[in-house]
Structure 1
Amino acid sequence: MRYNEKELQALSRQPAEMAAELGMRGPKKGSVLKRRLVKLVVNFLFYFRTDEAEPVGALLLERCRVIREEPGTFSITTSSCGEASSSTGMKYGR
């Protein structure tokens, strides 16, 4: 699925349904925990570096599953019919 970058940036500036600071870990085992500001707008989860206004990226939250890993942590797993599955782990920032 393709999206226009300018449209996504404009959407990321809309009021958030939810927002928080999270620790975000990539899919590789042992990857570094990165601090990110995240913002849920409609069905996109935008993530930002803590010192920047433009989003670093966005996750489209369709056909996904959110799984609680342990207290304060969860992972988002996405898959579509016939496609490989991917996972992103996140930890609540407190």
Structure 2
Amino acid sequence: MGEDGYYSSPFSKWFSRLLRNAGIKSKKNAFHSFRHCFEDACRDSDISKEIMDALQGHGEEGMSDRYGRGYFLQKLNEAMQRLQYRGLDLPTLYQNNR
């Protein structure tokens, strides 16, 4: 856990050093960039904000956060199966690393 009380803080600092050492650090990339990319992909894949928030661990606001227990894993899995990162070609990366 970091001094600020977040478990992600030490890893975020490590990831920033990794990017800097690789020579690819810029103002537009950081560990938090993964969250922004995920949100864009969810919107592009027609995943509702409520499901997107649940997948990211965001709490619900208002009275709805007091009732129920959230979404069933099956519902979250269905959304993840629909998630697409258009333009990202991972099989090509995998084939080039053999």
TM-score range, shorter chain: under 0.3
Q: What is the TM-score with the length of structure 2 in the denominator?
A: 0.25
Instruction: Name the one with the larger strand percent.
Output: 1
Q: What is the TM-score with the length of structure 1 in the denominator?
A: 0.25
Structure with the greater alpha carbon radius of gyration: 2
Instruction: Name the one with the larger helix percent.
Output: 2
Greater relative contact order, per chain length (Cα 8 Å cut-off, separation 6+): 1
